Amino acid sequence: MYMDRDVLIYALLLTMVMIALVLVGESRPDVYLSITILMYFIYTSINYSIRSRARLRILDAILLFVFLAIVTYRVLEVLRVI
């Protein structure tokens, strides 16, 4: 029961953030993915019950790698290396 409520709260928060990004005119897909990953880590850090019940270590590692790749690409783009 609590897991359903936690997932519903996460989905509502994520939906509100995505709507806000659409309203400000954001069109880059990597921004949406980065924000989604950040929201996931923030929410699962605040609400540890999801993380403890689902054992999300592999997913955490994959999402962290994807986030780092996006950030690295953007930093190199700003520095005009790419």
> Where do the structural domains in the chain lie, given as residue ranges?
2-78
According to the model, what pLDDT value does residue 1 have?
58
Question: Cα separation of 2 and 19, whole Å?
Answer: 26
80: amino acid identity, one letter:
R
Q: Is the pLDDT of residue 53 over 80?
A: no
* 74: enclosing H helix or E strand: helix 57-78
According to the model, what pLDDT value does residue 82 have?
73
The answer to pTM > 0.95 is no
**Most distant CA atoms of the chain, gap in Å:** 50
Question: Cα separation of 10 and 40, whole Å?
Answer: 8
